[in-house]
């Protein structure tokens, strides 16, 4: 069930983070401006394609973790373009009637989401910017799929690193305050730790040409995004070491995941 409305206008003069990510995953929903920006990132981080896949693996493991612990509704913020192993597909393997709302600011995501989810009564997509959490929450409520009086699984996979530390509390606090006890937050974030400053600078410069600059941080600064949540085992770790599964499709690629910290926090 996708929200209705007119086809949004797409700006092809500037690269889009969602479309760059699609390119990393060998998708087809990207444009020359996105590919050029993505290649600049790849020159500093040659393993970016494998890292994007590992990040998706973390998402799938996170959804399974939450669904197995009673979460029946998911809010995927910054969901990106549809690909194999979307949140609703993983959740429905465990909870067939789990409700999922995808939110992204990129209009291409909205167009493709409408097409993909047109006949799915448990899932929808909305266009909103995570920097406006009131809009994100209003869109989620208006779908009729998310009940904030019950626990919600919030996903911010590879999204918090697009916020400045000054923006952090203004975004995270309203989301946290809207959630019922028992809700979970899953997030991943790029790190400076273990990486050459020149490579980090090159990647940050590539993203500076997009509407969403990226900010690499150390572990202690990344942990601030989980304020108010209790991190579940094994805590905030590089994503290759977060609860790896035996399923070959989600087997972490050793070392590749060292660019990202990830974790799940539970709200008491």
What average pLDDT does the segment 151-176 reach?
97
Average pLDDT, the chain: 89
What is the spatial distance between Cα 17 and Cα 141, in angstroms, rounded to a whole number? Answer: 26
Q: Is the pLDDT at 117 greater than 80, yes or no? A: no
Q: Is the pLDDT at 82 greater than 80, yes or no? A: no
What average pLDDT does the segment 111-140 reach?
86
Report the b/e string of 69-86 with b at 16+ CB within 10 A. eebbbbbbbbbbbbbeeb
Q: pLDDT-derived band of residue 62, with 50, 70 and 90 as boundaries?
A: very high
- Cβ atoms of 255 and 51 closer than 8 Å: no
Q: Is the pTM of this model over 0.85?
A: yes
Q: pLDDT-derived band of residue 16, with 50, 70 and 90 as boundaries?
A: confident
pLDDT of residue 108: 78
pLDDT of residue 193: 95
Strands 153-156 and 123-127 come out as unpaired
What average pLDDT does the segment 142-171 reach?
97
Beta bridge partners of 189: 261
Max avg pLDDT among 11-15, 104-108, 124-128, 222-226: 222-226
The residue with greater pLDDT, 114 or 134, is 134
Is the peptide bond between 12 and the residue preceding it cis, with omega within 30 degrees of 0? Answer: no
Q: Is the pLDDT at 167 greater than 80, yes or no? A: yes
Lowest average pLDDT, out of 21-25, 40-44, 213-217, 245-249, goes to 245-249
pLDDT of residue 136: 97
pLDDT of residue 118: 64
What is the spatial distance between Cα 117 and Cα 11, in angstroms, rounded to a whole number? Answer: 23
Three-class SS state of 123: strand
The residue with greater pLDDT, 46 or 186, is 186
Strands 260-266 and 230-231 come out as antiparallel
Per-residue model confidence as pLDDT tens digits over 183-208: 999 999 999 999 999 999 999 998 88
Q: pLDDT-derived band of residue 161, with 50, 70 and 90 as boundaries?
A: very high
Q: Is the pLDDT at 232 greater than 80, yes or no? A: yes
């Amino acid at each position: 069930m996708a929200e209705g409305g007119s086809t949004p206008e797409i700006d092809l003069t500037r690269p889009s983070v969602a479309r760059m990510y699609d390119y990393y995953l060998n998708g087809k929903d990207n444009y020359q401006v996105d590919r050029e920006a993505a290649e600049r990132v790849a020159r500093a981080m040659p393993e970016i394609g494998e890292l994007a896949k590992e990040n998706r693996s973390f998402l799938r493991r996170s959804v399974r973790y939450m669904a197995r612990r009673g979460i029946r509704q998911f809010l995927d913020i910054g969901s990106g373009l549809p690909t194999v192993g979307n949140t609703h597909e993983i959740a429905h393997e465990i909870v067939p009637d789990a409700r999922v709302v995808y939110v992204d600011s990129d209009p291409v995501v909205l167009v493709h989401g409408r097409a993909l989810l047109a006949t799915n009564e448990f899932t929808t997509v909305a266009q909103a910017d995570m920097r406006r959490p009131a809009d994100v929450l209003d869109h989620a409520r208006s779908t009729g799929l998310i009940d904030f009086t019950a626990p919600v699984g919030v996903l911010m996979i590879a999204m918090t690193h697009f916020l400045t530390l000054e923006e952090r509390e203004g975004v995270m606090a309203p989301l946290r305050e809207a959630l019922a006890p028992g809700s979970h937050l899953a997030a991943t974030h790029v790190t400076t730790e273990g990486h050459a400053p020149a490579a980090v600078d090159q990647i940050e410069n590539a993203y500076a040409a997009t509407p969403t600059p990226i900010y690499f941080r150390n572990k202690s600064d990344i942990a601030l995004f989980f304020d108010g949540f209790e991190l579940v085992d094994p805590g905030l770790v590089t994503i290759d070491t977060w609860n790896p599964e035996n399923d070959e499709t989600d087997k972490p690629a050793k070392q590749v995941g060292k660019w990202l910290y990830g974790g799940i926090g539970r709200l008491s």
